[in-house]
Structure 1
Amino acid sequence: MGVICPKCGCKEHYWLQNKLRYECKHCHYRQSLRSGTVMENSKPPFLYRYIAIHLLTSTKKSFSAAELQRQLGHKRYQPVWEMCCKLRDVMGKRDGIYSLSGQVELDHAFITTLIPDDQKDEALKRGVGSQNKSKVVVMTESTFVENPKQGKPPKAVNHIKMKIVCDLKADTTTNMVKKYVDSQAELTTDASTSYKKLKEHVKKQDAKVVKQRDLPKVLPWVHIVIGNVKRLLWDVHHQLKNEYLQLSQ
């Protein structure tokens, strides 16, 4: 597609070698190589970005900003942390384009986060309503395996979506499904009242009454994902505020 002027839409430009910028032939608007990318208005050099992108996408476990700072040999933590947040935000937006289809498992996870400052003086609640528990809707797209190996899940996972929600109400979960799950998908959930309206928005919903100990068998990939995320957050980030949880997944 080439370079397109964001001001007038013209596709013809001059390259200004002394400025290292493109200049539009029509309106003379100038833009750099970083314009329209995650690197726009960013001070860290290109090499930092490329190394960060490589490390964040090629490792099985996530990278903390402190570890990335050490790998880059940068003196200050703040610019590296901001760079990580921008990259994770862009990666999340790209994943948001796709809808889950086929066989989809859905359940809620409760991730331990730091208590918000405005709630620290309150008595700590117990259970899912606790101030240090963030509620997350977990959805996995999977396909059945014909001859699964012994000890392996009967399904193979494809795409995953995890979204923070403010409550467990049926309307909240339904809105998540309408936004991120294809209407022709077949949904597997437990029989929670949070999922009572989902069958209206998918091809089929299999809502099973399941004992807590049997959930990993009925929803194998959802609970594998939840377990992996909890271990990753504990190993890499240790303590995390709720406002940064979505960027860390």
Structure 2
Amino acid sequence: MNLLHFIEQFPDETSCKVHLRDVRERDGLICKKCNGTKHYWLKAKWMWQCSDCRFRTTLRSGTMMEHSNLPVRTWYLAMAFMTYSKKGISATELQRQLNHSRYTTIWSLMHKIRTAVGKRDDLYKLEDMVEFDEGYFEVATKEKDKQQLKRGRGSQRQSNVAVMAESTPLEDLQTGKKSSHCRYFKMKVLDTHRAEEVNTTIANSFDEMSIVFSDKSTSYVDISDYVEMHVTEKSSRETTVTTLKWVHIAISNAKRTLLGIYHKIKGKYLQNYLHEFCYKLNRRYFGERLFDRLVLAVSFQYWYKSV
């Protein structure tokens, strides 16, 4: 969706609310009180009422927009701008485009959207043949480390990230040349290099019938316990461009994107930026439909996952 199309489809707050109502009804409403799924719309109050227990659900209840004082159209504009660009947009630029007075409000809004897309992608697991490796991303140091900067130790540190990519092997029948095709990606920040944390990431991210390719890191010794097969190769330049090709392409692209737009990222927010990067990468062929998918992610009833 381009800007002109957005203005035509959502000229005011009411049009955005009507669209949000339709999206939530298509996705399915769940009553917070009785878990009922049958509701009817109260037009005068802009609420749904449960057919079973009469509990009322507001338009934003259970979504990332709940408790937000911003208009729905501001949320829609933010999602539109975040999907217009292939790479992304900074909070400073979005604040300027929305003509909003407070940077922190826009920054918080964008992180809520990034959290929503991360939760959406967590609903799915990678399957079939999957590449797995780790990349090191530079993040800004803490305030207390400023003394180190004066001693010439730099202003950034390395954060370890597990990078996963579905990779389908291909072979040209005429030439016999082998290649691979990538599908979906996941990136998870790791707090440690221990095998236990890697195992948790594998269990939460991969289908049990997957075949995983990785190098021979000692942190990967238990991967075979969580998947159908684990194939390892000694880390080398050839492994990087063949067996783990798409993982390292994703790492390079993510680093370039984050550095070019956000410059310095605090370690505790790195996962949110990776959520956005992977969400857009996984839907790189969606085109204008990406905006609609983002609205669906933000309006999804995440509270229900914890019930």
8 Å contact kept, 1:14–1:24: no
Q: Which runs of 5+ in 2 are unaligned?
A: 1-24, 275-307
Q: Once the two structures are superposed, what CA deviation does each residue of 1:67-87 show, in whole Å capped at 9, x if it has no partner?
A: 222222222211111111111
Which protein has the bigger helix share?
A: 2
> What is the identity, as a one-letter code, of the residue corresponding to 1:81?
W
Partner of 1:97: 123
> 1:189 aligned to 2:199?
no
Partner of 1:225: 250
Deviation of the 1:213 alpha carbon? 6.5
Deviation of the 1:119 alpha carbon? 4.5
Task: Give the secondary structure class of the aligned counterpart of 1:83.
Answer: helix
CA distance in 1, matches of 2:84, 2:159: 28
CA distance in 2, matches of 1:161, 1:28: 40
Task: Give the secondary structure class of the aligned counterpart of 2:135.
Answer: strand
Partner of 1:241: 266
Q: CA RMSD in A?
A: 2.9
Question: Which deviates the most, 179-188 or 207-216?
Answer: 207-216
Q: TM-score scaled to structure 1, two decimals?
A: 0.85
Q: Once the two structures are superposed, what CA deviation does each residue of 1:46-98 show, in whole Å capped at 9, x if it has no partner?
A: 11211222332353202221222222222221111111111110100110111
1:163 to 167, 188, 197: 188
What is the percentage of aligned positions where both structures have the same residue?
Answer: 36
Deviation of the 1:15 alpha carbon? 1.2
Question: Which deviates the most, 91-100 or 172-181?
Answer: 172-181
Q: Which runs of 5+ in 1 are unaligned?
A: none
8 Å contact kept, 2:39–2:48: no
Partner of 2:69: 43
> What is the identity, as a one-letter code, of the residue corresponding to 2:142?
P
Partner of 1:70: 96
> What is the identity, as a one-letter code, of the residue corresponding to 2:66?
E
1:174 to 174, 195, 199: 199
2:42 to 11, 15, 27: 15
Deviation of the 1:122 alpha carbon? 6.1
Task: Give the secondary structure class of the aligned counterpart of 1:105.
Answer: strand
Provide closer, same or farther for how the CA distance between residues 3 and 138 of structure 1 changes in structure 2, counting only shifts above 3 A.
Answer: closer
1:204 to 225, 229, 246: 229
Deviation of the 1:117 alpha carbon? 3.2
How many equivalent pairs are there?
Answer: 243
> 1:84 aligned to 2:110?
yes
* Greater RCO structure (CA 8 Å; 6+ sep): 2
Partner of 1:141: 166
Deviation of the 1:20 alpha carbon? 3.1
Provide closer, same or farther for how the CA distance between residues 238 and 213 of structure 1 changes in structure 2, counting only shifts above 3 A.
Answer: farther
Q: Once the two structures are superposed, what CA deviation does each residue of 1:89-123 show, in whole Å capped at 9, x if it has no partner?
A: 01001101111111100111100001123455569
1:112-127 pair list within 5 angstroms: 112-121=138-147
Question: Which deviates the most, 219-228 or 189-198?
Answer: 189-198
> What is the identity, as a one-letter code, of the residue corresponding to 2:245?
P
Provide closer, same or farther for how the CA distance between residues 186 and 9 of structure 1 changes in structure 2, counting only shifts above 3 A.
Answer: closer
Deviation of the 1:21 alpha carbon? 3.2
Deviation of the 1:201 alpha carbon? 2.0
Q: Once the two structures are superposed, what CA deviation does each residue of 1:207-234 show, in whole Å capped at 9, x if it has no partner?
A: 1113257523331100000001100110
Task: Give the secondary structure class of the aligned counterpart of 1:132.
Answer: strand
8 Å contact kept, 1:184–1:203: yes
CA distance in 2, matches of 1:177, 1:23: 41
Provide closer, same or farther for how the CA distance between residues 42 and 107 of structure 1 changes in structure 2, counting only shifts above 3 A.
Answer: same
Provide closer, same or farther for how the CA distance between residues 244 and 142 of structure 1 changes in structure 2, counting only shifts above 3 A.
Answer: same
Task: Give the secondary structure class of the aligned counterpart of 2:33.
Answer: coil
Moved over 6 A (4+): none
1:55 to 70, 81, 92: 81
